[in-house]
Amino acid sequence: MAAVWRDTYMRDAEGVRGPAGPPDPGSARSMDELVACLRALRGWAGASEREVHRRVTRARRARGVPEVPSYDTVHRCFQPGRARLNVDLVEDIVRALVGGDAAGRWRGAHARIVGAVTGAGVVTVADVPPTDLPSFSGRRTELDLLLGDGPPAGGAGTRLRVVEGMAGVGKTALVARAAHVLRRRGRFDLTLWADLNGYAPDLPPADPFAVLDAALRRLGMSADRVRLLNGPERSREFRRRLAGRRALVVLDNAGDEEQVRPLLPEGPGCLTLVTSRHSLAGLPGARRLRLDVFSPSDAMELLRRAAGPERVSADPGTAARIAEAVGHLPLALGVVAGRIAGRSGWTLADHLEQLHDRRERLRCEDGVELALRLSYDSLGPACRRAFRLLALGPRPDLDEFAAAALIGEPPSEVRPLLRTLLAANLLREPAPGRFAFHDLVRVYAAAQAHEHDPAHARRAALARLYDYDRHAASLAMDHFAPYERHHRPPPGPPVAAVPTVPDRVAATRWLDAERAGLVATALFAADHGRPDHTGKMSALLFRYLDVGGHYQDAEALHTRAEETPDPHDRAQALARLGAVRWRLGRDLEAIEDFGRALAAFREIGDRVGAGWVLGNTGEIHQYLGNTAEAREHFGQALAIALELRARHEEDDKLGDRGVMYEPLGRYPKRYTHPREALEMGRELLSVARRIGDRVSEGQVLGSMGSILRQDGRPAEALDHLRQALTIARGIGHHVAEVALLNELGATWRALDGEGTAGRALDSYRDAAARAHDLGDRYERARAHDGLGHCLLAAGDERAAREEWARAHALFTELGTPEADTVARRLGPLGGTQV
């Protein structure tokens, strides 16, 4: 599509007026296509990038907007390869080129694309297969092929088997049965199961690199280390970790080969099972198994198992005609068998006659729809309503509490409804207490909801689910991060029952189980007229997603939360988005996000928020070597912090100021007034301890330690840093732990006493090792730099050169200004090569 726009508007780029009407962004399906359309719009208008920049600048100044984009920022909006666009700037560009009426269409197109891209990152990887179906039958030949221990096809390095077939033919059930058998036989010591959502009606296909993120966590890799790897690096690390292991990898519902290739392990000890509705002929070395509808004998076996052997044996001819009436399709047969088992007073002939009557009246040739219609009609009114409403939400699965919220009844009344739907094979139970639809059944149920339930009733069901999510998440987060309760939005009066989570362990377990559903529902809300819910969930889940390293989920959620109508929630969402992208190493995007957050905070008069984003923006500039920009941002942040301190605000507001203080300890001394900063630190430390905020307590102690060291008071710094390190280790804050070890190394070096040199070496070595485990290249480089100093002071020039060479290589790879500093140290020692 982008190529089409390029060709169509080639003359426009040279200033020749284009088609009669401006390009419409509505057909763009990716960020590159939207950018191509924006370039086409500029060509249509006959304006250069310089002219666009001038018009946008004039328009913003006329509206009194203080932030004016640089020419480079405008230029980047027209460049391909962007992960995101500044939608406010895009709207201003569109207004400058064609007027304000078109701007809304561009924002809508951007939102659709962002929603599709970010939703693809909402995935989970399980370490057990879905619950095995007791009614599983037939497929003996196919099962034997999957269980066979033959060599890889075509001499490939891994065993790969692909099960292909139409929807409802039983691909997932067959692979789940194979996985359970293989586990019982002890063939594998590790199982990874991922649903790739290739055909899910409410979710985009899973991003394979998001799947790798979840899989690497399952394999023991820290989230902070995973985030530093790009897609190909994740794939290589996944294969490295599975090399030599006996691993079973199941990739269910694959959309195409490109989704599967990065997820294939290597090594003869691994077996990969893939299911897909399409022929994945492009996967080399795969043994492909084409799954068709049941044979008549397998169909009869399923009916015997599910409906009872006596009834089928008493009238096998009628049973065979029932199977034929639904086309021998396993999904349809299971639904029919569930209805037969639930109606003991009906003969098989009665069921066959009903099938024929329904088919004649509807002239329907789809066995699945016919079976579903008959089972649906056989349900009582309460069950039919539950069946319809459960299909409205986008969750991949749900528990009885979320189901109760959608249905609008207490869990005690919903449980029997769920059991009835399970018995009728209209719901699945992939794990104990988790309920899910087959995607064809979900489509049918949702269609029934739109036919039978008025729009206001469907909206009310979704509103109850949103309300439940906020209350349940708020309750869990009050245990997960109680010290931040006052930062999170109050959920409002509850309208649905929520589960009991008595402590942090239970809260974490609940959040882990519900994360995919909570995020998917929040993204769904943004697309269906409730961006306010998305904004609240962004605030509620921020700390959990951040601490857990669920950065792709966080980016998806905070991106869509920007659409919330609440100006405070929008400003916070922009700030959180900047923080996530900073963690992901996308510094320039983070600066853009923080800039938009700063404008939003200033507009609503939030000085704390403005100070926080100014400090963090300054730190990114410092990291990038932009000294003037860093000094400017640090100065503004410190001025706000001192201004707030001078007001002697109430303690709860003082606690809010803790979020601003933590970056102060990382400012270079020339940006900080130590006396005022330490006074503020002591006040904030008292508040943090009084409210039990261990994260802020550790941050403030570490920042004070750094300030004290820079102020020439290393003995006092040492006490603060040791306390901070104890807290970081106690709460599992590994990123902070590494930074504190490096700071301790610098502090021991500054002390003049017996044994201090050895303790500095120990701190730096510990920091280097832990940074390597985390994949934190910046802190690892700092550790090697510190080791170089220690070893040179001990007279070991060769070892010092080796450490500084390692630091130089890492700083150079990161593109940070420290590379030049270390290179100058290496010069007298003979260069930068180890």
Give one DSSP letter per residue of 538-562, joined into a string: HHHHHHHHHHTT-HHHHHHHHHHHT
CA proximity to 264, closest of 360, 192, 366: 192
**6-38: b (≥16 Cβ within 10 Å) or e:** eebbeebeeeeebeeebbebeebeebbbbbbbb
Please tell me the distance from the alpha carbon of residue 801 to that of residue 803, in angstroms, as a whole number: 6
Q: Indicate if the pLDDT at residue 668 is higher than 70.
A: no
Encoded tokens for 638:
């410190």
Q: Give me the sign of the Cα torsion angle 614, 616, 618, 624.
A: negative
| pLDDT tens, position by position, 796-826 | 999 999 999 999 888 876 666 678 889 888 8
Q: Which of 2-6, 249-253, 443-447 has the lowest mean pLDDT?
A: 2-6
Average of per-residue pLDDT across 771-793: 85
Please tell me the distance from the alpha carbon of residue 703 to that of residue 725, in angstroms, as a whole number: 12
Please tell me the distance from the alpha carbon of residue 764 to that of residue 789, in angstroms, as a whole number: 10
Q: Indicate if the pLDDT at residue 44 is higher than 70.
A: yes
CA proximity to 797, closest of 831, 762, 771: 831
pTM: 0.64
pLDDT band at 651 (very low <50, low <70, confident <90, very high): very low
What pLDDT score was predicted for residue 162?
93
| Radius of gyration for the chain, computed over Cα atoms and rounded to the nearest angstrom | 30
Report the amino acid identity of residue 144.
Answer: D
| pLDDT tens, position by position, 449-464 | 988 898 899 999 999 9
Q: Cα separations (Å) of 703 from 668, 722, 818?
A: 12, 12, 21
| pLDDT tens, position by position, 236-286 | 999 999 988 899 999 999 988 889 999 999 878 899 999 998 888 888 888
Average of per-residue pLDDT across 728-753: 87
| pLDDT tens, position by position, 511-566 | 989 999 999 999 999 988 899 999 999 999 998 888 777 888 899 999 999 999 99
Q: Indicate if the pLDDT at residue 834 is higher than 60.
A: no
Looking at every residue in the chain, the average pLDDT score rounds to 82
CB neighbours of 271 closer than 8 A, spacing ≥ 6?
158, 159, 160, 161, 182, 187, 188, 247, 248, 249
Query: Per CATH, which fold does 125-290 belong to?
Result: Rossmann fold (3.40.50)
Higher pLDDT, 544 or 84: 544
Q: For the chain, what are the domain ranges?
A: 2-119, 125-290, 296-378, 726-834
Encoded tokens for 657:
């100021």
Q: Indicate if the pLDDT at residue 74 is higher than 90.
A: no
Q: Which of 341-355, 678-692, 778-792 has the lowest mean pLDDT?
A: 678-692
Map residue 69 onto helix, strand or coil: coil
Please tell me the distance from the alpha carbon of residue 358 to that of residue 341, in angstroms, as a whole number: 20
Give one DSSP letter per residue of 668-709, joined into a string: -GGG--HHHHHHHHHHHHHHHHHHT-HHHHHHHHHHHHHHHH
Please tell me the distance from the alpha carbon of residue 405 to that of residue 626, in angstroms, as a whole number: 51
Average of per-residue pLDDT across 82-87: 65
CA proximity to 392, closest of 529, 201, 548: 201
pLDDT band at 496 (very low <50, low <70, confident <90, very high): confident
Give one DSSP letter per residue of 81-149, joined into a string: --S---HHHHHHHHHHHH-GGGHHHHHHHHHHHHHHHHHTT---EESSPPPPPTT----HHHHHHHH--
What pLDDT score was predicted for residue 257?
87
Q: Indicate if the pLDDT at residue 432 is higher than 70.
A: yes
The top-scoring range by mean pLDDT among 423-437, 485-499, 504-518 is 504-518
Give the CATH class of 726-834.
mainly alpha
| Helix 714-731 vs helix 734-750: crossing angle, to nearest 10 | 160
Q: In percent, how much of the chain has pLDDT > 90?
A: 31
Q: What is the DSSP letter of 398?
A: B
CB neighbours of 809 closer than 8 A, spacing ≥ 6?
832, 834
Q: Give me the sign of the Cα torsion angle 307, 311, 316, 320.
A: negative
Higher pLDDT, 399 or 67: 399
